[in-house]
């Protein structure tokens, strides 16, 4: 038995190495997103960005913003969004912010981009990509709150946006150059009227916004809306490309 011990140990080591390499490949293939940890702003309990490794050729950054206090890791690893980002030469970031419930309700939590959470994202983008890039924001529920307020706070940084299922909004202000966007809500969602009213006010100001009521849908992410958003963002990229020559 002793004479077979060394070959067996060598074989076991080789098998372990193969398994380790296979697991590493699977992890890189299916879960490639990396995490950037940021110092939370006041009234935030978590500030992280999950992102795909940059190529250096990004034309902008797609920022996916999940619901209330959720992590963007799964969104950054989503195969459909990864494929789209690669085709359109976009960076891909999943927002992972959190605040106490009371701070989200009283106007001080991360929903309110002008209070520090928005600046953290802009600084994180610069850290990841080495330069500022135009943002394409797509947010659901709590992420929609952040999306709408970031595009209102720093409209010059946002190329296009979509917010789904937002419960309360800050009214758009006259005379401001808001970027193109989509306001969406499930018809079965109690947030429908607030979202419709926000769109109505934007339309009165002549803003380049679209209204997407989702028939038979409640308060949840919507695959058909995601597909529509990809097409909408692609159009904005094409328009920008024609304007800028890329």
Query: How confident is the model at residue 17, as a pLDDT?
Result: 44
Sheet containing 181-186, strands listed edge to edge, beginning at the edge strand earlier in sequence: 34-37, 46-51, 90-98, 60-65, 135-140, 158-164, 181-186, 209-214
- The three-class DSSP label of residue 164 is strand
φ, ψ for residue 99, nearest 5 deg: -145, 160
The whole-number pLDDT of residue 2 equals: 54
Predicted local distance difference test score (pLDDT) of residue 117: 98
Among candidates 162, 152, 143, which has minimal Cα distance to 98?
Answer: 143
- Cβ–Cβ < 8 Å for 137, 147: yes
Give CA separation, 176 vs 122, 151, 173, 210, in Å: 20, 11, 6, 17
pLDDT in tens, 121-168: 999 999 999 999 999 999 999 999 999 999 999 999 999 999 999 999
Model confidence pLDDT, tens digit, residues 34-77:
999 999 999 999 999 999 999 999 999 999 999 999 999 999 99
- Residue entry with tokens 């952040």: 146
For the entire predicted model, the pTM comes to 0.86
CATH code for residues 33-244: 3.40.50.1820
**Given a cut of 50, is residue 22 above it in pLDDT?**
no
């Amino acid at each position: 038995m002793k004479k077979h011990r060394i070959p067996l140990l060598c074989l076991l080591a080789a098998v372990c190495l193969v398994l380790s390499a296979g697991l590493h490949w699977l992890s890189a293939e299916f879960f490639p997103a990396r995490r950037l940890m940021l110092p939370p702003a006041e009234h935030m309990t978590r500030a992280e960005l999950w992102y795909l490794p940059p190529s250096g050729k990004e034309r902008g950054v797609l920022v996916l913003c999940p619901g209330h206090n959720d992590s963007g890791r799964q969104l950054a690893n989503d195969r459909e969004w990864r494929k789209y980002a690669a085709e359109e030469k976009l960076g891909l970031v999943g927002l992972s912010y959190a605040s106490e419930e009371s701070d989200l309700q009283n106007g001080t939590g991360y929903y309110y981009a002008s209070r520090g959470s928005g600046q953290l994202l802009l600084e994180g983008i610069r850290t990841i990509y080495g330069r500022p890039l135009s943002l394409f924001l797509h947010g659901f529920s709590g992420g929609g709150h952040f999306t709408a307020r970031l595009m209102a706070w720093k409209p010059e940084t946002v190329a296009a946006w979509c917010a789904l299922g937002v419960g309360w909004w800050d009214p758009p202000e006259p005379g401001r150059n808001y970027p193109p966007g989509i306001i969406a809500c499930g018809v079965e969602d109690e947030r429908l009227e607030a979202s419709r009213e926000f769109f109505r006010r934007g339309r009165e100001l002549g803003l380049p916004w679209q209204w997407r009521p989702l028939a038979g849908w409640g308060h949840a992410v919507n695959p058909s809306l995601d597909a529509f958003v990809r097409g909408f963002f692609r159009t904005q990229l094409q328009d920008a490309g024609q304007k800028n020559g890329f």
